[in-house]
Amino acid sequence: MPLIKKAPGLVTLEVKIEEPVKELLEDYARFIDSTPDHVVNIVIKKNLWRDQDYRKWREDRRGKNAEAPKPIAQGRG
């Protein structure tokens, strides 16, 4: 097993943020000597995961999806 995990894939997402938020983001990225992309990813992960209502909602949805009947695969031949 490797000691270092593969970096997660990145995708492009266009969002609009307020000017003061942009300045905070860029300033904080400079403060930690990182990129705004990295800061956004970490902030979103940490803050959304702290939301207990969201976590419960997410688990409920995953449970419902797991219980849904799966379509029967049609064999060829």
pLDDT in tens, the chain (77 residues): 888 788 788 899 999 999 999 999 999 999 999 999 999 999 999 999 999 999 999 999 998 877 656 556 555 54
Indicate yes or no: pTM above 0.85. Answer: no
Nearest to 41 by CA among 29, 31, 33, 30: 29
Three-state DSSP at 74 gives coil
The packing angle between helices 36-50 and 19-31, to 10°, is 110
Measured in whole angstroms, how far is the alpha carbon of residue 57 from the centre of its chain? 16
pLDDT of residue 71: 59
Tell me how far apart the alpha carbons of residues 30 and 8 are, in angstroms, rounded to a whole number. Answer: 22
8 A C-beta contact, residue 27 and residue 35: no
